[in-house]
Amino acid sequence: MSGILSIMLIVPLAAALACLFVNANQARWIALGATLIDLALGGVLWANFEIGGPQWQFVEYTPVFGRFAWALGIDGFALLLILLSVFLMPICIGASWEAITERVPEYMAAFLITEVLMIGTFAAQDIFLFYMFFEAGLIPMFLIIGIWGGANRIYASYKFFLYTLLGSLLMLIAMMYMSITAGTTSIPELMAYDFPPQVQTWLWLAFFASFAVKMPMWPVHTWLPDAHVQAPTAGSVILAGVLLKLGGYGFLRFSLPMFPEASAQLIWLVFGLSCIAVVVTSLIALVQSDMKKLIAYSSVAHMAIVTIGLFTFNRQGIEGAMMVMLGHGLVSGALFLCVGVIYDRLHTREISRYGGLAVNMPKYAVLFLLFTMASVGLPGTSNFVGEFLALMGAYQVSTWATLIATTGIILGAAYMLYLYRRVVFGDLVKDDVKAMPDLSKREMALLAPLAAVTLWMGVYPESFLAPMRNDVATLLARLERAKPAGDSLLTPGNPVAPAAHAQTADHGAAH
């Protein structure tokens, strides 16, 4: 099975090149075909991933020059995120099928390149290879927003670029220092290398600068609402679905295993920013009148649960954070598609322009409800599993942070149901809204798989928890020495109990 990762990179790359030489319609089919092949390869990857086997699987290693090597390989975390990417890609192509009419070949090529770079980021085992994929991911997204975006796309794309680039430079410097000090560029080796604690703090902060922007964490989140609002539907889907996961993946792959002491020292920073994000961005989401902006802000709040979960240093927290990443990838992607569906019909994101869609678009109403409820974290959907586990992990570290972060379930319900009410409920009075047809077959085909997987993850998350179980154990073993003591620890009681005990004992005897 060796080499499959390279094939997964080559297929979309070749397709992207091919796209540039054909007309619009052919480009669509080529893009769809290539992404479906990658999806199938992703399935092969999943089927052949040996749960409980070696940490790194499907390893490829070809030295290029000096220390730099074409080194690929995945563990459970990377596997799941690659699966998420290849699952969302064909859906994005399908979502752009009719919505994009200008420069279609270039558009499809940009998306295919994005896919290459995302898979590459998750599969890279060389720190500089990772850096290249990680940063290059900016470029196609910058173009997608800047060329096929909305009215204010130039501002949005520059803001996106400025924010993300700044952090990355610091990260590059840190990476150079690390590879020189440790004498290796291999990520697995660096994950086992112990940097002195004082150095760790600086390195941790340099990586944090990059990942916090990508996450995005409060207060470096303001690029996200603008980027989402201006991006075309499929751009938003991939932005929310996969690009936002790069930050979380970075924390998981670099910050935690490479700098355990620094991570433990700076928990307060992560928790503090995350708690602020949950409350502040949820409240901001409540007052939005633009649908995409509302969902963009809700993403910031959800990703804050991820950062909290990651820095709990325990199994529930980390597994929960991963589940939130996967669940949010599906659900926020689906929500952006839902917005896209009605945007394509009425060409406005203004919430107040809609209302009463349950009457003329019942199928849409049902699916939108499902994704709304998943976003709210209703048990039985993907997001619940993640949020529940992440917060359960957080409770073992800080009850305060958990209390504040858990208010997200109240605020989340408030802004999502308020949105749903204004769009779907109410009476159908506006003429142009009345004329909107229900979901087409193509749109059903995009949303139905997302709905199915959302429920699958909610009812039987074991399929997704199993591949990462060993990797979490490895990570926890690495973190063990820095693990913080929680504020909620139990102290055994003084033996005041006998009175109560005796009573129950009596009762027990009577049974």
Partner 1 sequence: MSAIHFIVFLPLLAAAVAGFSNRAFGTMLPKVVTTGALFVAAALSWPIFIGFMNGSAEPHVAQVFTWMRSGDLDVSWGLRVDSLTAVMLVVVTSVSSLVHLYSWSYMEEDPDQPRFFAYLSLFTFAMLMLVTADNLLQMFFGWEGVGLASYLLIGFWFKKPSASAAAIKAFVVNRVGDLGFMLGIFGVFLVFGTISIPEILEAAPGYAGSTIGFLGYRLDTLTVLCLLLFVGAMGKSAQLGLHTWLPDAMEGPTPVSALIHAATMVTAGVFMVCRLSPLFEQAPVALGFVTFIGAATCLFAATVGTTQTDIKRVIAYSTCSQLGYMFFAAGVGMYGAAMFHLFTHAFFKALLFLGAGSVIHAMHHEQDMRYYGGLRKHIPVTFWTMMAGTLAITGVGIYWLHAGFAGFHSKDAILEAAYAAGGAGQGAFWVGVFAALLTSFYSWRLMFLTFWGKPRWTQSEHIQHALHDSHHDEAHGHAVAHADNPPAQEDAGHTPHAHARGAHETADGTGGYHPHESPLPMMIPLLILSLGAVFAGFVFNKFFIQPESGEIFWKGAVAFNEHLAHAMHEVPLWVKLSASIVMLLGLAGAWVAYVWKPGIPARFTATFDLLYKFLLNKWYFDELYNALFVKPAFWFGRFFWKKGDEGTIDRFGPNGSAALVKLGSVASAKLQSGYVYSYAFVMLIGLTAAVTWVIAR
Pick out residues in 348-387 that bind partner 1 (CB under 8 A). 356, 358-359, 366, 373, 378-380, 384-385
Task: Kindly tell me which of 125 and 288 has the beta carbon lying closer to partner 1.
Answer: 288
The verdict on 20 binding partner 1 (CB under 8 A) reads no
Instruction: In whole angstroms, give the CA distance from residue 456 to residue 479.
Output: 31
CB 309 within 8 A of CB 274: no
Q: Which of 21, 242, 210 is nearest to 116 (CA)?
A: 242
- Binding track over 249-288 against partner 1, x by CB under 8 A: -------------------------------xx-xxxxxx
Least distance to partner 1 from the beta carbon of 396, Å? 6
For residue 35, the SS3 value is helix
Q: Determine which residue in the list 167, 333, 461, 467 makes contact with partner 1, applying CB under 8 A.
A: 461
The verdict on 448 binding partner 1 (CB under 8 A) reads no
Least distance to partner 1 from the beta carbon of 363, Å? 10
Tokens coding 18: 């091919």
DSSP-assigned states of every residue in 317-357: HHHHHHHHHHHHHHHHHHHHHHHHHHHHHH---BGGG---H
Least distance to partner 1 from the beta carbon of 141, Å? 17
Distances in Å between the Cα of 361 and the Cα atoms of 34, 349, 428, 497 are: 32, 17, 11, 61
- Binding track over 404-423 against partner 1, x by CB under 8 A: --xx-xxx-xx--xx--x--
Task: Kindly tell me which of 182 and 286 has the beta carbon lying closer to partner 1.
Answer: 286
Q: Determine which residue in the list 78, 291, 295, 391 makes contact with partner 1, applying CB under 8 A.
A: 391
For residue 239, the SS3 value is helix
Least distance to partner 1 from the beta carbon of 222, Å? 5
Tokens coding 469: 């179980």
Q: Determine which residue in the list 2, 48, 152, 399 makes contact with partner 1, applying CB under 8 A.
A: 399
Q: Within 10 A of 391 (CB to CB), how many other CB atoms are there?
A: 25
Q: Which of 404, 381, 409 is nearest to 302 (CA)?
A: 409
The verdict on 136 binding partner 1 (CB under 8 A) reads no
- Binding track over 142-171 against partner 1, x by CB under 8 A: ----------------xx--xx--------
Residues 202-241 that bind partner 1 (CB under 8 A): 219-220, 222-223, 225
Task: Kindly tell me which of 20 and 459 has the beta carbon lying closer to partner 1.
Answer: 459
Instruction: In whole angstroms, give the CA distance from residue 395 to residue 97.
Output: 45
Distances in Å between the Cα of 251 and the Cα atoms of 8, 204, 248 are: 24, 9, 5
- Binding track over 469-508 against partner 1, x by CB under 8 A: -----------------xxxxxxxxxxxx--xx-xx--x-
CB 242 within 8 A of CB 84: yes
- Binding track over 290-319 against partner 1, x by CB under 8 A: ------------------------xxx--x
Residue 252: left (phi > 0), alpha (psi -120 to 50), or beta?
Answer: alpha
The verdict on 389 binding partner 1 (CB under 8 A) reads yes
DSSP-assigned states of every residue in 79-145: HHHHHHHHHHHHHHHHHHHHH--SSHHHHHHHHHHHHHHHHHHHHB-BHHHHHHHHHHTHHHHHHHH
Least distance to partner 1 from the beta carbon of 201, Å? 24
The verdict on 99 binding partner 1 (CB under 8 A) reads no
Task: Kindly tell me which of 43 and 380 has the beta carbon lying closer to partner 1.
Answer: 380
Helix (H), strand (E) at residue 246:
helix 244-250
Least distance to partner 1 from the beta carbon of 261, Å? 23
